[in-house]
C-alpha cells in the first residue's frame, strides 16, 4: 500500500475499538495522526499511545464547542488534515415506541450533524491544497436496518447520502469521499454479548466469525492512500459476507 508519509490524518473516536485500529494503521503507514476522544483521561491515554507520531484532543460531536476548539488548535499548529476519518459515534438503542426525543436527537446530532460540521470545517484546507481524503464510518445497519436502532440506522444511512453528495461537489478538487461500512466487529460492545448471542450472530456471517478492528482499518487505509485516488462516492462493506450487494 502507498505510504502516507507527510500526511496529517484526523481520526475521531480514536481511543478504542475501530477508531484505535484505524489510528494505529495510519501511523504504521507514516501519517501524523490526530486522534480524538471525549474524556480527559481517554485523551491522555491516546496521547501516550500515539507518542511522537501524533497528537490527541478532546472532541465531543454533541458539544460543538469542542469541535470549534479542535479546528482552531489544528489550524494554529498547521495540522489541518488531508485525511479525515469520521469514526466517532454513539448509540441510544431502544424500540421506537419507547424512544425519547433525546435518544433520537443525541444520536442524529452526534453521528450525522457532527460529521457535517467537522467535515465542513476541514474542507477549505483540502480544497486549497487540491487534495484530500474523507472517509465516513457507517454501519451494516444503515443498509439493513435493525430492531431497536431506528435512530442509529437513520444516522448511518444518512452518512452514505451525505458522502455521495459531497463526493460530487469536490471530486474536481482532487478530494475523494467514501464510506466504510463495518458489520459486527470484535469490540467492547460485542464482547458484552452473551456466548449464546455471539453464536447466533456468527451463524449469520458466512465467514463464521466477527471482524476485527484491523479488518476495518486496512480498508480505511486503502481509501486514504493514493492507491484509491480514482475511487469516490463509494461504500465499502466489511462484514464477512453478512450483507452482499
Query: Can you give the residue ranges of every domain in the chain?
Result: 8-186+213-234
**Is the pLDDT reported for residue 193 higher than 80?**
no
- φ, ψ of residue 41 to 5 degrees: the values are -65, -40
- Percentage of the chain lying above the pLDDT 70 cut: 100
- pLDDT confidence of residue 194: 79
Q: What is the dihedral of CA 30, 212, 215, 2, to 10 degrees?
A: 10
Radius of gyration of the chain (CA): 17
- pLDDT confidence of residue 187: 86
**Residues 27 and 54: beta-carbon distance below 8 Å:** yes
Mean pLDDT, rounded, for 148-159: 97
| Residue whose C-alpha is closest to residue 145's, from 155, 153, 137, 135 | 153
Mean pLDDT, rounded, for 147-174: 97
What are the pLDDT digits (tens) for 99-146? 999 999 999 999 999 999 999 999 999 999 999 999 999 999 999 999
- pLDDT confidence of residue 5: 96
**Is the pLDDT reported for residue 198 higher than 90?**
no
Q: Provide DSSP, 1-57.
A: ----TT-EEEESS-SSHHHHHHHHHHHHTT-EEEEEESSHHHHHHHHHHHGGGEEEE
pLDDT confidence band for 197 (50 / 70 / 90): confident
Say which of 57, 59, 62, 152 is annotated catalytic. Answer: 152
Mean pLDDT score across all residues of the chain: 96
- pLDDT confidence of residue 117: 98
Nearest-angstrom CA–CA distance, 162 and 37: 23
- pLDDT confidence of residue 205: 96
What are the pLDDT digits (tens) for 47-64? 999 999 999 999 999 999
**Is the pLDDT reported for residue 11 higher than 90?**
yes
**Is the pLDDT reported for residue 189 higher than 80?**
no
Mean pLDDT, rounded, for 40-50: 97
- pLDDT confidence of residue 146: 93
Nearest-angstrom CA–CA distance, 152 and 4: 32
Using alpha carbons, list the distances in angstroms from residue 171 to 133, 177, 178.
10, 8, 11
Residues 6+ apart with CB under 8 A from 156: 89, 111, 138, 139, 141, 142, 181
- pLDDT confidence of residue 200: 84
Class in CATH terms, 8-186+213-234? alpha beta
Residues 6+ apart with CB under 8 A from 125: 80, 81
Q: What is the dihedral of CA 86, 47, 33, 129, to 10 degrees?
A: 90
Mean pLDDT, rounded, for 207-214: 95
pLDDT confidence band for 199 (50 / 70 / 90): confident
Nearest-angstrom CA–CA distance, 134 and 223: 9
57 annotated active-site: no
Amino acid at each position: 500500500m502507498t505510504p502516507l508519509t507527510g500526511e496529517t490524518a484526523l481520526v475521531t473516536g480514536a481511543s478504542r475499538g475501530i477508531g484505535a485500529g484505524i489510528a494505529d494503521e495510519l501511523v504504521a503507514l507514516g501519517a501524523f495522526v490526530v486522534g480524538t476522544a471525549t474524556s480527559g483521561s481517554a485523551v491522555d491515554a491516546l496521547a501516550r499511545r500515539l507518542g511522537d507520531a501524533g497528537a490527541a484532543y478532546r472532541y465531543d460531536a454533541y458539544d460543538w464547542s469542542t469541535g470549534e476548539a479542535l479546528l482552531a488548535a489544528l489550524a494554529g499548529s498547521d495540522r489541518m488534515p488531508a485525511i479525515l476519518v469520521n469514526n466517532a459515534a454513539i448509540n441510544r438503542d431502544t424500540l421506537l415506541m419507547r424512544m425519547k426525543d433525546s435518544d433520537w436527537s443525541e444520536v442524529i446530532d452526534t453521528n450525522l450533524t457532527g460529521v457535517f460540521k467537522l467535515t465542513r470545517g476541514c474542507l477549505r484546507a483540502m480544497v486549497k491544497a487540491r487534495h484530500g481524503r474523507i472517509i465516513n464510518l457507517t454501519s451494516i445497519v444503515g443498509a439493513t436496518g435493525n430492531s431497536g436502532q431506528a435512530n442509529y440506522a437513520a444516522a448511518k444511512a444518512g452518512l452514505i447520502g451525505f458522502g455521495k453528495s459531497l463526493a460530487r461537489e469536490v471530486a474536481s478538487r482532487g478530494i475523494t469521499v467514501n464510506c466504510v461500512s463495518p458489520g459486527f466487529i470484535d469490540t467492547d460492545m460485542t464482547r458484552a454479548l452473551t456466548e449464546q448471542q455471539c453464536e447466533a450472530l456468527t451463524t449469520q456471517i458466512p465467514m463464521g466469525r466477527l471482524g476485527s478492528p484491523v479488518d476495518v482499518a486496512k480498508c480505511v487505509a486503502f481509501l486514504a492512500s493514493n492507491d484509491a485516488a480514482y475511487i469516490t462516492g463509494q461504500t465499502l462493506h466489511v462484514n464477512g459476507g453478512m450483507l452482499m450487494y
